Amino acid sequence: MNKNLFPPNKILVPTDFGQASRVAMGFARIMHETFGTAVEVLHACHMELPPYFSSGQIAALKREIKQSAHAAEGLVHKEIEARLGFEAKIAILHQPPLEAILEESERTGAGLVIMGTHGRQGARRLVLGNVAEQILQQSKIPVLAVRETAKPVRFKHVFVPFNFSSVGQIALEYAAEMAAASDGLLTIMHARENPDQVSTRELCESPIRKKCRVEEIVMDGEAAKSILEAAQKTKPDVIVMGSERKSSLLEELFSSTTERVMQLADVPLLVVPKN
């Protein structure tokens, strides 16, 4: 089954009970109300058992972990009632957040992960801020990263940087589906890092134009800077970018362009993987 579809069949929302997670739930609520998408809220509880603990200490710690998980489930129920306003499935997993999110999204067949992030200055304040970039890099399904300052809205204006690559084409097609689903506008932007390079290729082919309204922008300069400047001018509701897993350790480092956009843009960023 192709999971790179919009609207998704199911949304997974990780929570660490912070403001960014609450904003993520707000976006999930809008998508549920608009498309009827099912939602699952996940909280990862993880505590390493020290190897030097005695059997009695280990038993006591396991009881404490169990009690913490029960308390966390109660908090998730309260968050769902306050932020979603409808019944959603709850998953409390005893795993590190990165593993829990990746494994649960695949196990449940979710079509989208919505995660709250804290930007450059606050990226290490809460647990999810530490793993958001790893999720964006490793997830097999699209991931929507939303800042804690974002206002949940329906995606009527979709912005997609396009560079003619296969990954870019996947992001473009996904962005077009998003714009079409909301009868919205798709802005396609191409950054020419070499202004002397002239391309005769169209940014958008006719099948895309048949799905939604389209506008095109060409800017000269470094990619991340151009994307941020164009997004500031056009004020989209969401930026869509593609992501491709790499084979070497060096290449597995998160794309500097995508990372900068996530850290600096005020607009939610949706990353679509190449599977």
Q: pLDDT tens-digit profile of 132-152? A: 878 988 899 999 999 889 999
Spatial separation of the C-alpha atoms in residues 128 and 144, rounded to whole Å: 13
Q: What is the pLDDT of residues 1-60, one digit of tens each?
A: 344 579 999 999 999 888 999 999 999 999 999 999 999 999 998 656 566 666 666 566
pLDDT of residue 250: 38
**Torsion angles phi and psi, residue 195, rounded to 5:** -60, -25
Q: Quote the tokens at residue 71.
A: 């308390």
pLDDT of residue 60: 62
Q: Which residues make up the CATH 3.40.50.620 domain(s) of the chain?
A: 10-147, 157-273
Tell me what the mean pLDDT of segment 84-103 comes to. Answer: 92
pLDDT of residue 88: 94
Q: Quote the tokens at residue 209.
A: 């134009």
Q: What is the pLDDT of residues 212-228, one digit of tens each?
A: 999 999 888 888 899 99
Confirm or reject CATH 3.40.50.620 for domain 10-147, answering yes or no.
yes
Class of domain 157-273: alpha beta
pLDDT of residue 33: 95
**What is the 8-class DSSP label of residue 254?**
P
Confidence band (pLDDT; 50, 70, 90) for 124? very low
Q: Quote the tokens at residue 119.
A: 């930007």
Spatial separation of the C-alpha atoms in residues 252 and 255, rounded to whole Å: 8
Q: Is the pLDDT of residue 248 over 80?
A: no
Query: Hey, is 238 helix, strand or coil?
Result: strand
* 63-95 core/surface letters (b: 16 or more CB in 10 A; e: else): eeeeeeeeebeeebeebbeebbeeebebbbbee
pLDDT of residue 119: 56
Spatial separation of the C-alpha atoms in residues 139 and 122, rounded to whole Å: 22
Confidence band (pLDDT; 50, 70, 90) for 191? confident
Tell me what the mean pLDDT of segment 58-73 comes to. Answer: 64
pLDDT of residue 274: 80
Q: Is the pLDDT of residue 198 over 80?
A: no
